[in-house]
């Protein structure tokens, strides 16, 4: 048995699973921060209930996403020791910063936000959710810095069989990062927007009595979906120009053609759905158009599917290189029997499947139950009743 295809399949599975959690986390936290800002600045009490309800769903996804990230780190250490040995001094730096700075700060601010409802001044509590949002974006930045280095190893040179860093600043001006980071962040906004719209639409399909609550949620989600989809499409095409410079043959490879076409098609489909929702919003038909409600419930998976296709384009197009032009993927696999890698792949896949099911069950339960009653005390922690 050849260890390389099993190792690559393991990498694709673990990173793809984790990436889906990350996208929803980035999108939901942004929308929750917007909702709380509007309430803090004198908005209707309904906005506080929205903050708590969508914030609860965000926290569930965040917690399960942490677990998938830990599993992903294990597969790096077990399967790709060649990468650590050759490029660890450079590739590991942004990952370490992401863990020590962005991740721990984000978790700390989030804990304070969760238990700060009704206990902290409104302005300070609002600052906390925006700090959570900013550190989440910082986390995405450092992850994409590391991934972009694999695409284009700027600011480094080979010395004694390993990469050494020459210019740390070059990592942040990497052409592979400049267009891809906005693309990922806007993809997160689309994912969060479609999720909020889809869940709200489901309640309208069930003829909810919370018309104002889910009507407001749909309006915010539709606007976020439209803005995000515009940037997703724009930044997606912007990356094509970069590819012609540092990976000129990537777009001509058959292995990339199918996911690339699917990604483009899904991107325009999401834009069309978001545009339709926005047009109905301006016509005051958003809460009345039942065909739209069914459509948006069915459209919840679209940004997730598009994200997987985009990730495949980015990673498959780099082959046969793990670090472009410097380290081949075949040379980075750990020197362990293929059977052991297969065993770890099966174990990781089963664990990821369990985490995905747990995430879906918990979020579906909270989403179906709906928001807290109007008379619910504000000082209840956001996770109460999960």
Q: How distant is the alpha carbon of residue 344 from its chain centre?
A: 25
Q: What CA–CA distance (Å, rounded) separates 277 from 219?
A: 9
* Burial status of residue 381 (CB atoms within 10 A of its CB: 0-12, 13-18, 19 or more): middle
The answer to whether residues 97 and 142 touch, using CB atoms and an 8 Å cutoff, is yes
Phi, psi angles (nearest 5°) of residue 322: -90, -45
pLDDT tens-digit profile, the chain (386 residues) = 788 888 898 888 888 888 888 999 999 999 999 999 999 998 788 899 999 999 999 999 998 888 888 777 777 777 888 888 898 888 888 888 888 777 788 889 999 999 998 889 999 999 999 999 999 999 999 999 999 999 889 989 898 888 998 888 999 999 889 888 999 999 999 999 999 999 999 999 998 888 889 999 999 999 999 999 999 988 888 877 666 666 666 668 666 778 888 888 999 999 999 999 899 888 778 878 888 899 999 999 999 999 999 888 888 878 888 998 899 999 988 888 888 888 888 988 888 888 888 888 999 999 999 888 776 655 566 665 55
pTM for this predicted structure: 0.91
Q: Which two tokens stand for residue 175?
A: 């052409």
For 158, the 3-state DSSP assignment is strand
Render 318-370 in DSSP notation, one character per residue.
TTTEEETTTEEHHHHS-SS-HHHHHHHHHHHHHHHHHHHHHHHHHHHHHHHH-
Alpha-helix residue ranges (DSSP H) falling in the chain: 3-40, 46-79, 81-97, 104-114, 122-151, 175-178, 180-205, 211-246, 254-282, 290-298, 302-316, 329-332, 338-369
For 55, the 3-state DSSP assignment is helix
């Amino acid at each position: 048995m050849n260890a390389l295809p099993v190792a690559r399949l393991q990498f694709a599975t673990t990173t793809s699973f984790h990436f889906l959690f990350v996208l929803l986390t980035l999108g939901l936290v942004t929308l929750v921060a917007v909702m709380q800002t509007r309430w803090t600045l004198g908005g209707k009490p309904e906005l506080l209930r929205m903050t708590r309800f969508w914030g609860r769903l965000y926290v569930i996804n965040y917690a399960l996403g942490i677990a998938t990230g830990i599993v992903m780190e294990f597969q790096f250490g077990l399967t790709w020791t060649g990468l650590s040995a050759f490029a660890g001094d450079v590739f590991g730096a942004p990952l370490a910063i992401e863990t020590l700075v962005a991740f721990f700060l984000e978790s700390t601010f989030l804990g304070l936000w969760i238990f700060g409802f009704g206990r902290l001044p409104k302005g300070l509590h609002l600052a906390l959710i925006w700090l959570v949002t900013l550190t989440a974006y910082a986390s995405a930045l450092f992850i994409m810095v590391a991934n972009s280095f694999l695409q284009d190893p700027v600011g480094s040179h080979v010395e004694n069989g390993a990469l050494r860093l020459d210019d740390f600043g070059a990592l942040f001006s990497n052409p592979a990062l400049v267009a891809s980071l906005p693309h990922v962040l806007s993809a997160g906004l689309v994912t969060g927007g479609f999720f909020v719209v889809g869940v709200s639409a489901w309640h309208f399909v069930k003829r909810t009595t919370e018309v104002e609550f889910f009507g407001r949620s749909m309006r915010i989600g539709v606007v976020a979906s439209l803005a995000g989809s515009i940037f997703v499409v724009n930044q997606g095409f912007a990356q094509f120009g970069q590819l012609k410079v540092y990976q000129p043959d990537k777009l001509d490879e058959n292995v990339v053609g199918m996911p690339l076409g699917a990604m483009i098609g899904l991107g325009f489909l999401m834009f069309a759905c978001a545009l339709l929702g926005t047009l109905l919003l301006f016509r005051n038909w958003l809460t009345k158009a039942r065909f739209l409600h069914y459509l948006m419930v069915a459209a919840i998976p679209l940004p997730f599917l598009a994200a997987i296709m985009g990730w495949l384009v980015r990673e498959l197009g780099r082959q046969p290189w793990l670090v472009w032009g410097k380290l081949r993927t075949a040379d980075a696999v750990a020197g362990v029997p293929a059977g052991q890698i297969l065993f770890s792949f099966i174990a990781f896949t089963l664990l990821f499947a369990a985490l995905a099911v747990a995430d879906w069950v918990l979020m579906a339960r909270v989403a179906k139950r709906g928001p807290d009653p109007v008379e619910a005390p504000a000082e209840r922690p956001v996770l109460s009743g999960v």
